[in-house]
Amino acid sequence: MSKINHINNMLKLGLLITNRHRLLSVAAILDVFESVNGFYERANQPHFFNITLFSPDAEPGKFYGAYPMQPISEFTKQDLILVPAFGAGDVQLSIMSNQCCIPWLWEQYKSGAELASFCTGAFLLAAAGLLNGKHATTHIDAAEALASNFPDIIMKSDAVVTEDKGIFTSGGATSSFHLMLYLIQRFCGKDLTLRTAKMFAIDMDREQQTYFGTFAPPQNHGDGLVNMAQRKIEKEYQEGSTIEVLIQDIPASRRNVVRRFKQAIGVTPIEYLQRTRIEAAKKLLAQTDQSVLEVMLNSGYNDLKSFRQLFKKSTGVTPKEYRDKFNIARLETGGQWTRRMSGAAYLD
């Protein structure tokens, strides 16, 4: 257990209940840190974390579940501030609806508090300028948007957790649990971290989140020529043709197509083709019992060594490792269904 054993020395943990926050993110944070306090309680020690919920617009007497809400207008210095993920939808709108939190976050940080954002909560820290010149991550599918909107960030898209000058960020979904474990180990030690990981069935060995990424390129960018090239690639990627062959009928020069593709989508046509093929391979590995060789051929590749190298570069794991993690039939074998949601695994 921690050396902290007196209630006056409890670590002040502030959870910022942002506007448009993701309910599951807040629930997971409270569940984990309440559970850690429970470990201390069962050891006849005071709670380690003094949890306070803060709100941009809390009114007197307002509660969030069992917790009274404290308005950020009443400044109370904290040791650690947690910023949950935003819910689905327009992240720019989420940032705008929480502008009033930015001075408060800066005041906490300057007063010595450490800050931790979960998943897309990093966008609020980025909008505040708190991530400028620092390493950061977010949900793998939001990483490009974070990097392009806030170019002063040192983006680590595949990282599960980052730490830089007292500011922590996490990747998406269950990566949030890895950040919580990281913080628990930092403040409470390894023993309590292992007990928490076991309680929530968290895979502590995960070092990257790239295999959770999904290639979902924009289609409504307004460039008809690029749309034409996209449809051509998505229809014929399995044929194993080069990008030059696939776009040869597009009524524009190759240089013009590449330039407009990059401008509209953010990747070149050849990158688009590779990511389309890898996405197809991921689906086949997860949803069918095809061999790796069959998956390779049905995804438009014809060299097994090259396919394995490209797949691992894109996802961080080999095709076999990906299948072992995500193939539905294998997960259901023997009537046991492992459900990894909110960091917990449930077995029938």
Residues 1-47: pLDDT tens digits? 434 444 458 999 999 999 999 999 999 999 999 999 999 999 999 99
pLDDT of residue 209: 59
Question: Could you read off the pLDDT of 300-334 as tens digits, one per residue?
Answer: 999 999 999 999 988 888 999 888 877 766 555 53
Secondary structure in 3-state letters for the chain? CCCCCCHHHCEEEEEECCCCECHHHHHHHHHHHHHHHHHHHHCCCCCCEEEEEEECCCCCCCEECCEEEEECCCCCCCCEEEECCECCCCHHHHHHCCCCHHHHHHHHHHCCCEEEECHHHHHHHHHCCCCCCCEECCCHHHHHHHHHHCCCCEECCCECEEEECCEEEECCCCHHHHHHHHHHHHHHCHHHHHHHHHHHCCCCCCCECHHHCCCCCCCCCCCHHHHHHHHHHHHHHHHCCCHHHHCCCCCCCHHHHHHHHHHHHCCCHHHHHHHHHHHHHHHHHHHCCCCHHHHHHHCCCCCHHHHHHHHHHHHCCCHHHHHHHHCHHHHHHHHCCCCCECCECCCC
Give the pLDDT band (50/70/90) at residue 212: low
pLDDT tens per residue across span 106-118: 999 999 999 999 9
CATH node for 11-212: 3.40.50.880
pLDDT given at position 286: 84
pLDDT reading at 338 higher than 50: no
Q: Give me the residue spans of the domains in the chain.
A: 11-212, 224-329
CATH class of 224-329: mainly alpha
